Amino acid sequence: MSSIGNVSFSSLNQANNAVNNSIKKISTGSRHPSASYGASEYAISKRMYSNIGTYNQSISNTQNSNAMLSTAAGAINNTVSSLTSLRENIVNALNGTNGSQDLATLQKGVDQTISQINENAAVTYNGQNLLDGSNPGTTVAGSFGYDTVPFGNMTSQGLGLTDSSGKSTIDLTDGTSLSSALDTVDKALNSALDQATSIGAAQEGLDFQESNYVTASENLTDSVSTLDDADIAAESVNLKSAQTQEQLALFGIQAHMGLMANRANVAQLLGH
């Protein structure tokens, strides 16, 4: 093949490569869709994208954990309210103006409150029991480390309000046990408040962590965008130019092939 033909085919290959390169960059939105477009830049950008994915998963983890803790916190708040009501009943029973019938009525209120506390402790999240003593706590995994938030036993037995057989340890009908009953409820209230405080502190920490993850993800996204994002407008111009060069190269090859055919025809005629 003549040098003109070689040049035309070389131009076609170059134009075809340029078209393919522009199409890959436009379709992926990346200046480095593979390592062949810049090995070091490709590796750096992929590591950055991996870290962004980790940060985003960390954000999701903190949000899910916060939702679980909010569920537990709501149940504990109800328990604190129940224990406050229980304490009021005991203080009422301590008043010497109450007769036996009044004390029996107050005892019914105590039993109902204890039952409500057990219902509060039976709260679940995503199929997990949170406060019945079977769950030691939740682990929050993130790119900055791992945090464990402990859960206590917030059942009536765990709080000392009932014994191992489920019998109430608070008997308002027995005047000699009223003072110890008040101590029992105060200890239970302190335990519930400690658990509420622990969860509240953990949620505050999760809010800070989520904010840090969001900031890190946004900053890294900006950095990788500067490094790797393709200029779609510029690549569209490059694609159009490469397609034009491709068409010109094809035209040149076709013209060259036509010229060679004409020469062959002339030679054949002269041969006759």
Decide: helix, strand or coil at residue 132.
Answer: strand
Residue showing tokens 């101590």: 183
Given a cut of 70, whether residue 187 has pLDDT beyond it is: yes
Quote the CA–CA distance of 147 and 58 in Å, as a whole number.
12
Given a cut of 70, whether residue 188 has pLDDT beyond it is: yes
Q: What pLDDT is stored for residue 271 in this prediction? A: 59
Q: What is the mean pLDDT of the chain?
A: 82
At 249, the pLDDT band (50, 70, 90 cuts) reads: low
For residue 182, what is the enclosing H or E element?
helix 178-228
Structure tokens at 71: 């569920």
What φ, ψ does residue 90 adopt, rounded to 5°?
-70, -45
Quote the CA–CA distance of 20 and 33 in Å, as a whole number.
12
Q: What pLDDT is stored for residue 83 in this prediction? A: 96
pLDDT digits over 228-242, tens only? 766 577 767 766 776
Yes or no: domain 49-226 corresponds to CATH 3.40.50.300: no
Q: What pLDDT is stored for residue 6 in this prediction? A: 56
Each domain of the chain, given as residue ranges in start order, spans 3-29+232-271, 49-226
Decide: helix, strand or coil at residue 150.
Answer: strand
Q: The whole model's pTM is what?
A: 0.72
pLDDT digits over 117-168, tens only? 999 999 999 999 999 999 998 888 776 777 888 999 999 999 999 998 989 9
- CA distances from residue 92 to 83, 96, 206 in whole angstroms, order as listed: 14, 9, 41
Given a cut of 70, whether residue 81 has pLDDT beyond it is: yes
User: Around Cβ 247, how many Cβ atoms within 10 Å?
Assistant: 12
Structure tokens at 64: 């899910």
Which of the 8 DSSP states describes residue 242?
A: H
Most confident of 9-18, 199-208, 219-228: 199-208
Decide: helix, strand or coil at residue 3.
Answer: helix
Quote the CA–CA distance of 16 and 23 in Å, as a whole number.
11
Cβ contacts of 36 within 8 Å, gap of 6 or more: none
Given a cut of 70, whether residue 38 has pLDDT beyond it is: yes
Which carries the bigger pLDDT value, residue 95 or residue 246? 95
Q: What pLDDT is stored for residue 103 in this prediction? A: 83
Q: What pLDDT is stored for residue 161 in this prediction? A: 95
